[in-house]
Amino acid sequence: MNKIIRSFLLLAACATGATALLAQPAIKLVIVDVAKAYDGYYKAEDVNAKFTDARQKAQEQAEELRKQGQTMVDEYKELAEQAKSTLLNPDAKAKAEQARDKKMEDIQRKQAELQNFAQNTDRQLQQQMLTRREMLLDEITKVVKDLAKRKGANLVIDKSGLSAYRIPIVLDNDDAFDITAEVLTELNKDRPAPAPGAAPASAAAKPAATTPAPASPAPGFTVPNVSKPADPAKKP
C-alpha cells in the first residue's frame, strides 16, 4: 500500500513539474549590434565631429603656448650669452645674470602652463565625450527595447561585445534574428537634411563605440644644458 502511495506521489510531482515547464513562455530572441548602431546614429556622428573640432582647437591653443615658450627660450639664450660677456663690469654682469634667471623662471612657468593646459583640456574633452556617449547609448537602448517588444521578443542579445575570453559573444547567427538595420532606421528617421554645401557625414571620421583616444600633446620646449634657474639665495 505504501509503495502505491509513493508511486502516486512521484507521478503527481512529475506531472506538476511538466506542467510548470509547459507554462514557461517560449524564448523568442533578437540580436543587435549596438556598436554598429552607435556608429551609424546621426547624433553620434555629430558628437564626433564636434569633439574632433574641439580637440583641434585645443591643439592649436597648445601650439600657441609652445611657440610662446620657444620665444622665451630664444630670449634666454641671448641673455645667457650676455651674462657670459667679459666686457661687462660686475654690476652689469649681475643684472644680466638676474635677467637670465628671471627668464628661466618665466620659461618654467610657461612649461607648467602648457602641461596643465594639455592635461586639463584633454580630461575635459574626454569627460564631455563619455557623458554624451552614455546619453546616446541610452537612446539606442530604448529604441532596441521598443523594437524588440513590438516583435514579441523576450530576449535581446548584443553581438558587438566580447566574452571574458576576448571572443565574440555571438559566434554566428541567422540574419533573420538581427534587428540592427531596423534599429538604425528608427534612430535616423528624424535626421535633419544636410545643409547646402555641407560635406556628407561619411566624409567625417566615424565615432567609435569605445572610449575616445586622448589628444596628442603639443611638443614642449627645453633649454639646452639647463634644468632650472639659479637660486639667488645660493649665489656667492
- Distance between CA atoms of 190 and 86, rounded to whole angstroms? 77
Task: Centre a 10 Å sphere on the Cβ of residue 199 and count the other Cβ atoms it contains.
Answer: 10
Phi, psi of 29 (to 5 degrees): -110, 160
pTM above 0.75, yes or no: no
What are the helix (H) ranges across 151-173?
A: none
pLDDT for the residue 53: 94
Burial of 175 (0-12, 13-18, 19+ CB in 10 A): exposed
- Distance between CA atoms of 191 and 44, rounded to whole angstroms? 12
Q: How many residues does the chain have?
A: 236
In the numeric block, which cell numbers belong to residue 128? 564631455
Cα–chain center distance at 4: 70
CA dihedral (194, 198, 201, 206) positive or negative: negative
- Distance between CA atoms of 223 and 104, rounded to whole angstroms? 9
Q: What is the pLDDT along the chain (236 residues), one digit of tens a residue?
A: 555 545 544 555 555 554 544 556 788 999 999 999 999 999 999 999 999 999 999 999 999 999 999 999 999 999 999 988 888 898 988 999 999 999 999 999 999 999 999 999 999 999 999 999 999 999 999 999 999 999 999 999 999 988 888 888 888 888 889 999 999 999 999 898 877 765 555 444 444 444 455 555 555 666 555 544 444 444 44
Run of H or E including 47: helix 42-84
